[in-house]
Amino acid sequence: MTIDTKKTDGTLIVTLEGRLDTTTAPDLEKTLNDSMDGITQLIFDFKDLSYISSAGLRVLLTSHKTMSQQNGTLVVRNVSDDILDVFEVTGFIAILNVEK
């Protein structure tokens, strides 16, 4: 998986490419932990993300909690139909702000 981050004026955009699974989730978690100070808006761009596992969902949930504690927002953009199905089945669609 490739992780690209862009930080400007309190907004962190995280673009993911590939598979977010048990092997790659720790890399994303470390990237987020190193980048979250002063962030009021976290945007995940899933345009090139092909798969998400429960480990990836856990990172999203942790990020959502962190943003709530920082009085910020989290948005997941460009979600494929397959990943949207995972969000719907797991109930994440009700928790996350998802923009297809």
pLDDT at 4 over 90: yes
Percentage of the chain lying above the pLDDT 70 cut: 100
Indicate which CATH number applies to the domain containing 52: 3.30.750.24
Token pair 């923009």 in the structure block, residue:
99
Where residue 100 falls among pLDDT bands split at 50, 70, 90?
confident
The total number of structural domains that make up the chain: 1
Q: Are 49 and 42 in contact (CB under 8 A)?
A: no
Domain of 20, in residue numbers: 2-99
pLDDT of the residue at 65: 96
Looking only at the bridges linking them, the beta strands covering 97-99 and 73-77 are parallel
Q: What DSSP character marks residue 1? A: -
Residue 69 CA to residue 81 CA, distance in Å, equals 30
- Tell me: the pLDDT tens digits for 75-87? 999 999 999 999 9
Of the candidates 72, 64, 59, the one whose C-alpha atom is nearest the C-alpha of residue 11 is 72
Q: Judging by DSSP bridges, how do beta strands 2-8 and 11-20 pair with one another?
A: antiparallel
Strand partners, 76: 44, 98
Mean pLDDT of 17-43: 97
Q: Is 40 helix (H, G, I), strand (E, B) or coil?
A: coil
- The model carries a pTM of 0.95
Give per-residue pLDDT as tens, 31-63.
999 999 999 999 999 999 999 999 999 999 999
Q: List, in sequence order, the alpha helices (H) in 1-100.
A: 25-35, 54-69, 81-90, 92-95
